[in-house]
Structure 1
């Protein structure tokens, strides 16, 4: 309550004198009058009314007599704050994140406020999401919404607490001096109230827990460039934003007044949003550019953003934000960030980064974790890290400061790391004794504990291994090119087919073998490439490649390489239905393996001879030879793949003899063993064959087997897919 001293009180000057007095004099008189009222009230409390009161009352004054027209007014409650920024325009997507925030609002939390932290790289739309959602649920917070911008850590926890208190109606002279007291008072003022606090650009997430109000019906929403996963145990819900999807990025541009231009050039528009990294902030910059340049086509904008210097100029705000983010990193993390700009691939493991930056793997992991926490690095579900396109471009610019010599040394270390890891994976996936022209022996303990683990690594790192082949070729590291193709790439191809990429890599390996004048390596690389061409149905080119391989092996005088080259050439001859010529090759290769004492090599040639004998219609003879090969292979239990191949050839011979029950039995064993090995491509042929025998005997399941075989062939882009598709259509 307040006293109204607009009228005279006892002991004051008359009203006419007051009106004529100066402002300063009137103020002095009012002060005197106020003091007299207080004295009068106090005098009458003791003598006339007593000092006790009981029961609920409002605006209590105990006074014997008050004269002169003193007025009392009830103090008005402070207006509920409404400090949210205006709702963002052109907002798109983020449905899963909005659903997570809705769930936070709805959940029961006991006696604590709900809290969420929206994190991500600069420009990804954190504040836009928070503001958009806040406007959607504004009716849930009847006591108001308070917003405070920490300015990327430039403003303190105390400033935030004081701002909140002032927003809730606390006068400046009532706000405590210490931060702890401010926070304590803030909890008092928020208890039991329905408030939304929006803290933008929080630099230190430890502030979040301190500012939580003591009200289960309030919510604290924060945005930060730091991931909040570590705060889950404190009741914080972390929401990490990534770039928009392609469709939503295009929708953002359409909503920016560019619908007709975007829809008129759909291909260029798709490339444009990719050039923008599908970040809302960058899309906004480009939309503004297109709105100013009304004569520009979308294709012209793409060209502008394709030029490195012009791109830097158009997107200077985005790059400046990254400059600031990296500038705030500790020195060790900032240097690792620059090394990531040297990495030639899109995703990378901690081990690869350790090799690149010449660090212990533990140190690389901890620094990557810090970069991930600051949202400069993302992590997928396969323990790999990756950079957003724009961040990768910025990191590559930072890498220039490392110097050309250091970058070249780093790339050589990286290629060497992949060569060594690939050699270990190869030995875990394939037979340790198989022919290898490089890295025949690898020192050290194999880092892969199981075959499955090694195969997963090969599949996960396939694109990077191909990248290392290209990098090694460009750097004239010819032996590394050959080793990578002969080791990890060939091991992977034997399990999961990737024809186009592997063919190109093997062509590079042939060039490298010629560059260092190594006929042994040339024969091996040409043989492998001939095998792939044969599998793709390019039989004439495969035959030519294998003939060159045999010639190189003859020139080298290397009997084991010659036996291998003859084997690959024989397989191409078999595919060309030249069965007798193929048997001649396999027989010669078997004799060479016998001279070398390589019984496994002998078994392989006998298996191939059995296939060609079936091709000549000599099926009973083929079954005998295949049985001999299988018996001989029992000496090599580590070879789990070749018995399955022999089983398939045996089933084909039984089918040719009309013995479908024997074929089905053999194929079921092969399929079970192949599934256990997790070699998906090797499943396709036995599945197709068992479907044929099931159909021939009227048994169910043929279509299911054909459908699975078709999926495998299509995934590998094998020409055999067309044949299986026809069988499904005929059925």
Structure 2
């Protein structure tokens, strides 16, 4: 059980299980345990643990040193406390004295009873048994030791404040004298000692304390005492009572009635502001997402935690007609709010900020800083008092702000967006089915929904369906969601205008994105900058909440922001650079996948491309960018850039086929064919349609398309293209009838391929000949063709050719040779992500394992082959997979399971398949039914 282990960190490290202490071993071993305790519940990789524990003396063995230390700790600790996973190590704790300390401090902060507060703080401080983590080595633990010591001193000052508030002046003097002697530079304790002396009737000693402290500060630091200590000195001189606290102030603005869909984040913000202080909570998000409403709603729920008041100031970081409020002016207003006389407010920013912190000392107030332009505007306004909280909202991610908690506010969920619309227009009107479309057209952005709802509310004759039709035109949508007084476009415009010129330019250019998202390379091409600059600019737009980061290196607009970007001044050359990027990158990825250049392009590329060091790199790029490439083809086809459209379609189609994305393949080729500007281009596209469609639409439909391509092929077409077309025609003929006519066409294709000198097409034609001879049951001839193809060393066809060799060896009774070829084919197929070739590899392996009576392996790969075949939508591969799995089940003696597979194989073979396939399926069905 996790509660079997407790650790004490606020002194020498000690461990407990129940009432029994645990011996924790050598200091470095204790240091490892202490680091994991401070990060309890987190998974820590071994290399991170080395950095945290051994950074002062890095071991030569690197991360390998962690495992033996963890092993020894496991021998000492209760079971299932120190856990190991694939990603690292984690520690489960039942509790620590540090956690108890923070719990007691939080309890103290949550009460209005000064006696209870003082008692809880004293109880918390009693948990310290000396220096935290004392004696443990390592820089990280040294930093934590210093942090915890400072934390103790802050809580100690709070407890002394509580005792001063309770009137225990004389009792505090001895303790404070010792504290001041221990650190003469800590002005807070000196001030508390002055107050204790003064309120005990010992004014001369209070003044002497100030004099000694001032002399020490000047002598050692060259500075005068701060405003807080000087203010106490002046009060003692005047023998005035401390200034009366101002009445409780609540400056929070009206937050509106319609507040939906933020309950989770609202609870988190409120919870963060209830923790032990000082607390700084930052909320960021794009324009119109509802940051201010969230902040005000949260602040309204915290009156019990901050009974001295809740202040609110709009810093006008993004307000039409307003310059951002400077920190100097903001402090002036805040200090006046606390009833500080104008003549006591210093002119300099640093002194004004110091006075602000001094005035907040001992108070329990929440300060809401709304609409901050940047971190610099906020830093001087932060409270130093541990009882105060600061809540900041901004359109930017305030990375320069050391916030204790951060919350990024996103658009509403669909159901919450509809609820907000109903709050505005009324539940009856919101029942219209078109309401879902309206909030979608608003991008689920609260500001847009409020504008749309307001238009409806003030136009009783409009229906929600009517509004939806008005919003349907994308070029008019922003205008519909904007008003004379504001709305979506003005809000976006302010965010845009606050960007520096280089970020503004990229924002404008991103409006030309042809796909749904963009990576660093595509953005670099669009902006004609290097990838490092592009990434920096993209990240800066994310910081400004004008761009979404889906995951590292990939970015996306909110729909309405994208429409706004499209309204800005375009750069025509940028779109061509983006089209060039997608064309050349797709061709490069295809070359990496197939180890041959299927689509030759002029060299060198006009844009920088990702590195495709392996087929896996190419496949990963296609998986990520395939949708964007398809959208780019559609854009190019509709915008008159026909060359990019048809070439992109031809380049991406085999990649889609390789990944089983056949619907996208069909769409890409259809768009490419419509865009093809001349007969040569049309012939190339038709060649792709016929070749790749053979496996789905059948050989007969494929042959018709390929013959149309041949009819359009110009007489002067290059030999490689002519050889590819002849090869594909011959192969389709062979799949219909593997007769001499088909072999004659393939022989002609081989002759033309040899004339062209293209090794890749030569290897492919020989592979087609191997398949054809195999369908004729002439396996020796098939094996010879396959082996000649393999000898050419063309990587693009190796997996398919090895499949053919494996099939031939099986039919010739050479099971060991078949397994060797098929195992290599499997490894190649997995490496290249070629699901299509793996369908046949697994099917043939099914037969090979069955011949060796390795039944479990045979059935497993047989089922995997059928699964992939069904996903591929290829009739031919399904025939083969059904048949070989059925034959294996039959040989294993599982007749009932084999029968439906034979029946399905026969059904598919009768519709389209060689006679040999029909005969095998029929024989198997008869045998399994006996």
Please classify the TM superposition score into its range, dividing by the shorter chain length.
Answer: 0.7 to 0.9
Instruction: Name the counterpart of 2:801.
Output: 646
Instruction: Choose 199-208 or 239-248, whichever is displaced more.
Output: 239-248
Match of 2:250 in 1: 82
1:503-518 matched pairs, under 5 angstroms: 503-513=666-676, 515-518=677-680
- Confirm whether residue 699 of structure 1 aligns to residue 855 of structure 2: yes
Structure 1 regions of 5+ residues with no counterpart? Answer: 1-52, 61-71
Paired residue secondary structure (1:78): coil
Q: Could you tell which deviates more after superposition, 157-166 or 687-696?
A: 687-696
**Aligned counterparts, 1:330-369, within 5 A:** 330-359=500-529, 361=531, 363-369=533-539
Q: 2:664 aligns with which of 501, 504, 508?
A: 501
Query: In 1, distance between residues paired with 2:493 and 2:607?
Result: 42
Cα gap change, 1:692 to 1:86, in 2 (>3 Å): farther
Q: CA deviation at 1:576?
A: 3.7
Look up the match of 1:627: 787
> What is the match of residue 312 of structure 2?
147
The whole-number CA distance in structure 2 between the counterparts of 1:582 and 1:718 is 22
CA distance in 2, matches of 1:720, 1:115: 65
Show the counterpart of 1:274: 440
Counterpart position of 1:201: 371
Normalised by the length of structure 2, the TM-score is: 0.61
- Give the 3 Å change call, closer, same or farther, for CA 559–337 of structure 1 in structure 2: closer
The number of residue pairs the alignment matches comes to 644
Residue 675 of structure 1 and its aligned partner are, at CA, apart by 2.3
**Counterparts of residues 28-43 of structure 1 (less than 5 Å):** none
Residue 707 of structure 1: how far off its partner (Å): 7.2
Match of 2:627 in 1: 463
Report the counterpart of residue 586 of structure 1 in structure 2: 746
Secondary structure of 2:546 counterpart: coil
Separation (CA, whole Å) in 2 of partners of 1:678 and 1:202: 49
- Is the counterpart of residue 396 in structure 1 residue 551 in structure 2? no
Distance 1:535 1:127 in 2: 58
Counterpart Cα distance in 2 of 1:383 and 1:54 = 62
1:223 is aligned to 2:393:
yes
> Which among 597, 600, 614 is matched to residue 774 of structure 2?
614
Paired position in structure 1 for 2:281 = 116
Indicate conservation of the 8 Å contact 2:521/2:531, yes or no.
yes
Q: Unaligned stretches of 5+ in structure 2?
A: 1-195, 204-239, 318-322, 887-896, 902-930
* Structure with greater Cα Rg: 1
Instruction: Determine helix, strand or coil for the equivalent of 1:380.
Output: strand
**Distance verdict in 2 for CA 1:699–1:361, change over 3 Å:** same
Question: Counterpart of 1:201 in 2: which secondary structure?
Answer: strand
- 1:266-305: CA deviations, max 9, x gaps? xx33322221011011112222333344454432221021
C-alpha distance after superposition, 1:344-385 (max 9, x if no partner): 333234443444444555554444444333222223215133
Counterpart among 691, 715, 734 of residue 555 in structure 1:
715
Give yes or no for the alignment of 1:543 onto 2:708: no
| 1:310 to 1:252, Cα distance in 2 relative to 1, 3 A | closer
Per the alignment, residue 674 of structure 1 pairs with 829
Q: In the alignment, which residue of structure 2 is the partner of 1:38? A: none
Contact 1:81 1:146 in 2 (8 A): yes
Q: CA deviation at 1:124?
A: 1.0
Gap change, CA 1:251 and 1:577, over 3 Å in 2: farther
Return the alpha-carbon distance in structure 1 between the equivalents of residues 273 and 811 of structure 2: 69
Aligned to 1:533: 693
Q: Structure 2 vs 1, CA of residues 166 and 296 (structure 1 numbering), >3 Å: closer, same or farther? A: same
How far the C-alpha of 1:140 sits from its partner, in A, is 3.1
- For residues 705 and 164 of structure 1, the distance between their equivalents in structure 2, rounded to whole angstroms, comes to 73
Alignment partner, residue 731 of structure 2:
571
Q: TM-score, normalised by structure 1?
A: 0.76
- Preserved contact between residue 658 and residue 835 of structure 2 (Cα < 8 Å): yes
Inter-partner Cα distance in structure 2 for 1:579 and 1:530: 20
- Separation in 2 of the partners of 1:684 and 1:660? 19
Please say if residues 226 and 375 of structure 1, whose CA atoms lie closer than 8 Å, have aligned partners that are also in contact: yes
Supply the distance in 2 between the matched residues of 1:441 and 1:610 (Cα, whole angstroms): 37
8 Å CA contact 1:187, 1:213 repeated in 2 = yes
Q: CA deviation at 1:542?
A: 2.1
Structure 1 residue 81: deviation in Å? 2.9
- 1:202 CA displacement: 0.6
Could you tell me how far 1:184 is from its partner in structure 2?
A: 0.8
Equivalent residue number for residue 21 of structure 1: none
- 2:168 is aligned to none
**1:176 alignment partner, SS class:** coil
Whole-angstrom distance in 1 between the partners of 2:769 and 2:386:
78
Confirm or deny: 8 A CA contact 1:142 1:195 kept in the other structure. yes
TM-superposed deviation, 1:547: 0.9
Q: 1:386 to 1:174 in 2, by over 3 A?
A: same
Map 1:402-551 to 2 at 5 A: 402=570, 406-407=571-572, 409-432=573-596, 434-436=597-599, 438-439=601-602, 447-448=610-611, 450-451=613-614, 452-487=616-651, 489-490=652-653, 492-493=655-656, 495-513=658-676, 515-518=677-680, 521-537=681-697, 539-551=699-711
1:286 is aligned to 2:449 = no
- Structure 2 CA distance for aligned equivalents of residues 208 and 241 of structure 1: 19
Cα distance in 1 for residues equivalent to 2:654 and 2:297: 51
Corresponding position of 2:407: 239
1: CA distance, partners of 2:670 / 2:859: 38
* Offset at residue 445 of structure 1 (A): 8.7
1:302-321 to 2 correspondences below 5 Å: 302-307=468-473, 308-309=475-476, 312-316=479-483, 317-321=487-491
Match of residue 298, structure 2, among 129, 133, 143: 133
- Whole-angstrom distance in 2 between the partners of 1:419 and 1:199: 48
| Deviation at residue 56 of structure 1 after TM alignment | 5.0
Q: SS at the partner of 2:855?
A: coil
Secondary structure class of the residue paired with 1:139: coil
**CA distance 1:80–1:547, change in 2 (3 Å):** same
Q: CA deviation at 1:644?
A: 1.4
Q: CA RMSD in A?
A: 4.0
> Which deviates more, 600-609 or 86-95?
86-95
Alpha-carbon distance in structure 2 between the residues aligned to 1:470 and 1:54: 82
Instruction: Give the conservation status (yes or no) of the 8 Å contact 1:104–1:114.
Output: yes
Change (3 A) 1:596 1:353: closer
User: 1:235 and 1:227 mapped to 2: Cα distance?
Assistant: 11
| Residue matched to 1:5 | none
More contact order relative to length (CA 8 Å, sep ≥ 6): 1
CA distance in 2, matches of 1:512, 1:498: 21
Where does 1:34-53 land on structure 2 (aligned, <5 Å)? none
- Judged with a 3 Å threshold, the aligned counterparts in structure 2 of structure 1 residues 92 and 569 are, in CA distance, closer, same or farther, namely farther
Q: Residues 242-275 of structure 1: CA distance to partner in whole angstroms, max 9, x if unpaired? A: 322333323433454654554551xx33322221
For 2:299 and 2:850, how far apart are their aligned partners in 1? 63
Q: Is the 8 A contact 2:284 2:408 kept in 1?
A: yes
